[in-house]
């Protein structure tokens, strides 16, 4: 949704310039920047979510998608991405206690 709003930014601004009622709710430059930052920070999670919806997902595939999401979120380096990264690391503590997942990672040759 944020990506779509960002994509329609020019159209929204043109409409707001032509309509006095829309001018009242038009976003300022700071708000547009925040939308862009949030959209960029959530992009790795969006991609990971799509991968996790795969019909033939294995536990080691889950781990790969999780790690990739974590690395890509960390590389964005914004305040919002740092919050998301903190949540990912916090959740990872619980995920990595699962012995079945650890066994799947250990047996998968991609992660040696």
| pTM, 2 dp | 0.82
In a 10 Å sphere around its CB, with 0-12 CB exposed, 13-18 middle and 19+ buried, how is residue 84 labelled?
buried
Q: Tell me, what's the pLDDT at 16? A: 82
SS3 content of the chain, % helix, strand, coil (to 5): 80, 0, 20
Q: From CA 84, how far away is CA 42, in angstroms rounded?
A: 8
**Position 94 pLDDT exceeds 90:** yes
**Position 48 pLDDT exceeds 90:** yes
Q: Tell me, what's the pLDDT at 58? A: 92
Q: Tell me, what's the pLDDT at 6? A: 87
44 and 68 Cβ atoms separated by less than 8 Å = yes
Q: Tell me, what's the pLDDT at 21? A: 77
Q: Tell me, what's the pLDDT at 51? A: 94
Q: From CA 78, how far away is CA 82, in angstroms rounded?
A: 6
- The total number of residues shown for the chain amounts to 112
């Amino acid at each position: 949704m944020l990506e779509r709003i960002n994509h329609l930014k020019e159209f929204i601004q043109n409409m707001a310039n032509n309509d006095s009622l829309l001018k009242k709710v038009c976003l300022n430059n700071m708000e547009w920047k925040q939308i862009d930052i949030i959209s960029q920070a959530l992009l790795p999670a969006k991609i990971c979510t799509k991968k996790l919806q795969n019909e033939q997902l294995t536990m080691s595939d889950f781990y790969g998608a999780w790690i990739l999401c974590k690395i890509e979120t960390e590389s964005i380096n914004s305040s919002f991405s740092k919050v998301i990264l903190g949540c990912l690391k916090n959740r990872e503590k619980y995920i990595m206690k699962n012995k079945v997942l650890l066994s799947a990672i250990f047996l998968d040759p991609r992660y040696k």
